[in-house]
Structure 1
Amino acid sequence: MADSSNTSKARHSRPSPCALGSGGKSMLDDTACPALLRALLDHIPALAYAKDEQQRWVFFNERFRQSSGLPAEELLGMVDTDILPPHIAAWVREHDTAVLKTGQPMQSEAHVVDLDGTPRHLSSYKSIWIDPHSNRRYILGFIMDVSSQRRIEREHQTILDIVANGPAVLVRCRMEPGLPVDYISPSIERFGLDPDELISHAVSFESLIDEEDLAEVLEESKRRISEARDSFVQEYRIRTDAGMVRRIEDYVFIERDSEGIPRFRESLLLDVTARYEAAQALAASEARYRTLAENFPNGSVVLFDTDLRFTLAEGRGLKFVELSRQKLVGLTVWEAFAPEIAEFLAERYGAALQGKKSLFEMSYKDRHYEVRIVPLRDPHNEITGGMVVSHDITRRKEAENALAELNANLENLVAERTAELERQARELEEANRKFKRLDELKSSFLSAVSHELRTPLTSIFGFTKLISRDLDKHLRPLIAASEDTCSLNRLDRVLDNLAVIEHEGSRLTRLINDVLDLTRIESGRMAWRDSRIQIADCIYEAVLSVSSQFFEKDDLQLEADVPRGLPDVIADPDRIVQVVVNLLGNAAKFTSRGVVRIRARQIEEEIAVFVSDTGAGIKADELERVFDKFHQCHAGDTLCRTESGSGLGLAICKDIVERYGGRIWVRSSPGAGSVFTFTIPVAPQKEASAT
């Protein structure tokens, strides 16, 4: 190779691969580069090379040259991009430049794809060497293919992950007293045990085995090992740190030394607690089902195999048809039954063996049965036979026949009743039309009478006031001047009677007005002046209207808590004032002392108005009727402590509130006052914008 290098130098004027600036001596000379060192570099499992500061190769080992596929004389003086793929050349040059710049060694790894498309994992180590003679700097590099090593590491890690996350726990114990743990996989934590404690010998493997199973486990292990059976399976229980018991299946492997002496016990532990419990539950379930089949009331349970031979026959119903376990088990369907019955059953049993279920009714020896046939399958889903469940429905069939006869009789009765109901419906419909007509006549009558009464009532009310005023103004002074005491007393009595007429006339006027309002609302003739309004203005107007009633009572106060910024509502302001006046008037009328309070709040998309008082309250059986027309509460509640009204005020309030899509209700209890509440929907935002 030295001769080739010299030839290359003469031909390409490139530095010799062995000339690192040391007085012209080649590294292949025995004095500068011993043959032993060269042989060592040629046989190491890495690509070794040296570069000058222009990153031209000036030295390389044989493995490097072979990987390039070029003769040594051509390779000398080349740079990375001359022969390496661009991505590999960039990786090599990046780290060579960094080493030249810093002067510090650098180690790195990279995933690359070879020219033939093979993925590789390369590890490189770069450093700087300074020739002591010429003081020139050179890059010394070693590149090693560690793909196999990394693959082995990944496979090893995969195995560890499988052991750690798999269903089994791997344990290696030394064959010494107590079986001290030499290795245990981290998955032992699923048994509630600490692997670090086991490995540190703080806990021996024998101490984990349940005391009731330990002697048997050790004895069986000793016997198997003495028989030179180095692999066997044991099942026993272990206890966790929390004292819980787990049942495991232990696949044991005994490792012996060269002299055949057991040195290690390797175990693969599987938690079979769930399987064991399932097996126990299955056994218990089978016992229960067998007991159930033996005592099956009014019927029987029968099993048959693929030859249609009965393998089980239980149930109390068998004796009613002169059958029994002894007469069925072991016989085929043709041997146990008459030909016509056997043929009928065999067809349906065969369908079950094809995976089909069937449900039918049949008669046998004067008994009626509901029969259900289903296929039976083994754990591999293969059909191994069928099950027949027969239920005696003789009494049900008799009841059905009796019911059918009764239904036949009932049909005629229903037809007669239907005709009678249709006749009554027609009569009710005719009566309803008459009642509607009468209601219309009543409304018209009330409206007409109310109108007719208002004129004379107004005259009576006016003349009563006029007579009272004239008597008091003109007659009283004359009688007083005559000093006729008897006449003066009679005058006072007349004036008192006129005051009663005036008071009753005023109450009669209110009654007529309420009747007129109610008839207008019910007949649809009420004039509604709906508009967007501020409900707070209506409430304060109503408060001013009734304030005189509170001034007359020194022990009664009126409080209003109504924010001005409440949203608008769509309503007739006069009707809202009328509702609030009625509620406040009732509260003032039936509350002798304390506070009457009115509040208004926005609750979601509604305005709620609350009128509360400290009166005597209303009885529970009266609450649902206070809004009925002409309803007067009985003695003992707030509505009867003073003079009674028309009984229409709250009914009118209800009609007005519901007309606007609101609600009105009352909460009260005797001695705790009352709270009347009504709601009005907030005006839509879209309409507000348009306004």
Structure 2
Amino acid sequence: MLDRPERIAFFVAACLGPVVWGVMFALFVLVQTPSGGLPLPVSEIPYLEITLLSIFVASSVAFLVEALVRQFLYTRLLKIYKVISNPEKYRNALLADAEEIGKVEMEVRSWAQRTSTEVVSLQARDDVRREFIANLSHELRTPIFNIQGYLLTLLDGVKDGKVRKDYLKKANRNVERMIRLVQDMDVLARLESSQLVLNNETYSLTEQVEDALEQLSDRLQNTEIQVIREYDVAQPCLVNADPERMDQVILNLISNAIKYSREESGAFVKVSIQDAEKNYNVTIEDNGIGISKEDLTRVFERFYRVDRSRTHTKKIGGTGLGLAIVKHIIEAHGHSIKVTSSLGAGTTFSFSISKGS
């Protein structure tokens, strides 16, 4: 930029022309003014004076614009000349400007990337919310409609006592299904918010597995599913965990293995317990219908069902929250659960439990 004295001199020189034109025009008008009178009104000024006035105004504007343009060009040229004549002096400044521009560009790109990620995340959350509401409404609507149908039939006056009892039993099963759904949702909500307190105890893992198999023995009746036990551990196989929550884990995984097993000879459900250094590794395997790669990444989501047709679900039941609860219970104990599967070749779930003393 120009120094202050240089700018003042430049403006004085640039504006000197309009000032001279103004003085000349004023003298000319005074000469045309009657002696001792006021200046002539505009309507009485001769045509020549009006022309001169127009020239004065146009020239003044032109000189002013020229002065501004000259100052702008002169300032930029002077800066360029200084940089060219002494590059070492201004190189650091130029590099600093370039570095600053690069930082600003990186910040803008980072902000754009964060914004894009947040938008995608919000869209994903909205999709999950809509899917959750749709699945929840389905899970509640089905038993409610069933109960309504049974009650309406009874109100119509069914006289056969055996039929009435059967309808009441079916209505009660649907009520129990709704209760399980509400309880599972409550447990899952507390697990996801880390509000569920674990009551860890030392107990026998093999006894817990055997109790679970006993509870599920009714489902194994009239099937060709073979239950295989592989306990490669020293008894009594003590673990330190919350027995009530681990019951949910083992019951759910074995129940799913039974539910999705093939209805043919050779079907099996295998429960394995292996001794590790500080943990016991538990594996629950079946050779059932299996899970596709597309579904495998979503099996632990709430209400997500591999069996979209609900063929097996209708037959055995379920809330669609079991695996989500299983995952959170295992993680609450400080471990993780893994799943491997091939479509048509079966599924294997594996997790660890800390040893007890």
Scaled by the length of structure 1, what TM-score is found? Answer: 0.30
Cross-structure match for 1:534: 204
How far residue 499 of structure 1 moved from its aligned partner, in angstroms, is: 7.0
Which string of whole-angstrom CA distances, capped at 9 and with x for unpartnered residues, describes residues 332-353 of structure 1? xxxxxxxxxxxxxxxxxxxxxx
**For residue 102 of structure 2, what is the amino acid of its counterpart?**
V
Q: Deviations over 1:120-165 (max 9, x none)?
A: xxxxxxxxxxxxxxxxxxxxxxxxxxxxxxxxxxxxxxxxxxxxxx
1:414 aligned to 2:98? Answer: no
2:266 counterpart of 1:582: no
Name whichever structure is richer in strand by fraction. 1
Q: What letter is aligned with 1:533?
A: Y
Q: Alignment partner of 1:577: what SS?
A: helix
Once residues 288 and 182 of structure 2 are traced to their aligned partners in structure 1, the CA distance between those partners, rounded to angstroms, is 28
Query: CA offset at residue 513 of structure 1?
Result: 2.0
Partner residue, 1:657 = 330
Q: Match of 2:218, SS? A: helix
Per the TM alignment, residue 550 of structure 1 is displaced from its structure 2 partner at its CA by 1.4
Check conservation: 2:143, 2:178, Cα contact below 8 A.
no
Matches within 5 A, 1:3-82: none
- The answer for the alignment partner of 2:342 in structure 1 is 669
For 1:555, give the aligned amino acid: E
Residue matched to 1:262? none
TM superposition shift of 1:424:
6.3
Aligned to 1:554: 223
Cα drift, residue 574 of structure 1: 0.6
> Would the aligned equivalents of 1:591 and 1:613 in 2 still touch at CA under 8 Å?
yes
| Residue number among 611, 636, 648 corresponding to 2:284 in the alignment | 611
> How many residues are treated as equivalent by the alignment?
247
| Paired residue type of 2:229 | A
Counterpart check, 1:632 vs 2:305: yes
Q: Aligned in 2, Cα 1:571/1:467: closer, same or farther, shift over 3 Å? A: farther
Q: Does the C-alpha gap of structure 1 residues 561 and 419 become closer, same or farther in structure 2, counting only changes over 3 Å?
A: closer
> Given the superposition, is the C-alpha separation of residues 670 and 423 from structure 1 closer, same or farther in structure 2, using an over 3 Å criterion?
closer
Q: 1:640 and 1:676, CA in 2 relative to 1: closer, same or farther beyond 3 A?
A: farther
1:475 to 159, 168, 173: 159
Q: State the alpha-carbon separation in 1 of the partners of residues 347 and 144 from structure 2.
A: 39
SS in 1 for 2:188: helix
Whether the 8 Å CA contact 2:204–2:236 is kept in 1: the answer is yes
Equivalence for 1:602: 275
CA distance in structure 1 between the partners assigned to 2:211 and 2:320 by the alignment:
24
Distance 1:462 1:574 in 2: 30
1:566·1:601 contact (CA, 8 Å) conserved in 2? no
- Listed one character per residue, the Cα deviations across residues 324-369 of structure 1 (whole Å, up to 9, x for unaligned) are xxxxxxxxxxxxxxxxxxxxxxxxxxxxxxxxxxxxxxxxxxxxxx
Structure 1 residues 517 and 464, CA gap change in structure 2 (3 angstroms): farther
Paired AA for residue 227 in structure 2: L
SS in 2 for 1:642: helix
Unaligned 5+ segments in structure 2 are 1-91
What TM-score, normalized to structure 2? 0.54
Counterpart amino acid of residue 235 in structure 2: G
What is the distance in 1 between the residues matched to 2:322 and 2:227? Answer: 20
- Confirm or deny that 1:521 pairs with 2:191: yes
In terms of fraction of residues, the more helix-rich structure is 2
Question: Which amino acid is the alignment partner of residue 105 of structure 2?
Answer: R
- 1:631/1:477 Cα in 2 relative to 1: closer, same or farther (>3 Å)? closer
Counterpart AA for 2:305 = Q
**Residues 230 and 271 of structure 2 are in contact (CA less than 8 Å); yes or no, is this contact kept in structure 1?**
yes
Q: Note the C-alpha offset of 1:519.
A: 0.3
Offset of residue 647 of structure 1: 3.1
- Say whether 1:648 aligns with 2:321: yes
Give the Cα separation in 2 of the matches to 1:631 and 1:406.
59
Return the structure number with greater relative CO, CA threshold 8 A, min gap 6.
Answer: 2
Aligned-pair RMSD on alpha carbons? 4.8
Larger radius of gyration: 1
